[in-house]
Amino acid sequence: MVSPPTRYLVFFQYFGTKYSGVMETSANQSGIGVQNCLEKAAQNLKPVVPIKFHISSRTDSGVHALCNAAHLDIQRAPGKPAFQERELIRGLNHHLKSEPIRILSAYRVTSDFHARFSALSRTYIYRLLLGCTRWSEVPVFERDLCWAPPGGGLEFWELKFRSKSFLYRQVRRMVGALVAVGQGKLTPHQIKELLELRDARALPPHAMAPPAGLFLKCVEYNEADLHTTRAPGE
């Protein structure tokens, strides 16, 4: 008799520079998503049914995550007990070692838990490096990890955004608009007019911040949802 699947919530991080985004891509698409790598690693756990990662927060090409989340169901062969959380973390990370992706933690959750819809909030950070007149002046260990618009003294700024959910590219648009105002390319009155239009396409292309400076910092859940009573004998 096949045992029922066990649902887990996993928290994971990644450098997004080499990926087309966090979501999976098909074979006929260019680039690969973080989800493709996660699911490839998970198949090495020899599940009865292929494992699908249900991602909490979508990030685009070049965007990083200090901590994203996903839930997955694992159904093991008859006689095989459910994975302990530490065992699952070790197994996934072993098969992800060639990728800049790491599982941070795992929790057993109830079968009706959903990584996307159960989330209470998401927090993003956007990193700006001010004072560089040329891209070559950006420290090599910061390239692809910040945006360096010209102007100001050499210093890092971090802008933090927290909400239950965000619109497509919302954080990058907000940061880009703020920088455009600071550079005199847009006025506060023009920002007000753009907001009143309620049309993201009206934002000038130069007011879109690049993806490299954006990090998903964390996804928050109700603490009670992260503790599930185990079945007898586990």
User: Which sequence positions are flagged as catalytic?
Assistant: 60
Which helix (DSSP H) or strand (DSSP E) does residue 172 occupy? helix 170-182
